[in-house]
Amino acid sequence: MAIVGLKLVKLALVDPKTQQIIKGVEGLSTDGVIEIDSKMLGTRTANISSLEGQATKVPGNNEVQDVMIGPGSPTVAFEFNNLDFDIKQKILGFKSDKKGGYVYQGEKPHVAVLIESQTLDRKNSVYFGFANGIFQESTQNVATDTDTAQTRQNDHLTYNALSATEFGGEPIKKYFTGSSTFDKANMYKEVFGGYTLATSTAV
């Protein structure tokens, strides 16, 4: 099934051991979940790769008898248009010194991610859920403006998905609102480690 567009991305910090959502001051918001909304100019791309591992052919009797598929190790290449500075430092593991400085704390925080796209007719959503993983920012380009143009550098982060308890040890789970059994509250509970979705929360 074809999908179109990138409607929304949501993030939350989770406990590395329990994979339960972290709320409040230690989390990304009061209830733990942050939406990369229009205040942050949204998300430009979220390219998911390595959903499946390498295929290895098994030969026998001068023919290919079987194919073994290695486990997937998904990564997501994100381009955020204007991530909130504090949020970005938190998901990368940089801690504030309370004086305007941020330093890497030596251990990557674990982050849950929910990516929403849509069907071609825009009537249903397709979600890609990652209940456990870490963010990396391997490069930061800085370039001069010119007399005729600004040189903009968006936030390019790579998300490395890890095994998720709620997904039976798998790193990713997909959800489809067009399914007759789709349960939005359950999706949020699984992806965001026990999160309780308010009944008034929009999709």
pLDDT in tens, 147-191: 899 999 999 999 999 999 999 999 999 999 999 999 999 999 999
**Least trusted range by pLDDT, from 11-20, 35-44, 54-63, 156-165:** 54-63
Whole-structure pTM value: 0.90
Predicted local distance difference test score (pLDDT) of residue 163: 96
Q: How confident is the model at residue 200 (pLDDT cuts 50, 70, 90)?
A: low
- Residue ranges with strand state E in 81-143: 94-96, 102-104, 110-119, 125-130, 133-136
pLDDT in tens, 47-85: 999 988 888 888 898 888 898 888 788 999 999 999 999
> Do 21 and 109 form a contact (C-beta atoms < 8 A)?
no
pLDDT in tens, 93-116: 999 999 999 999 899 999 999 999
Alpha carbons 147 and 86: distance in angstroms, whole number: 31
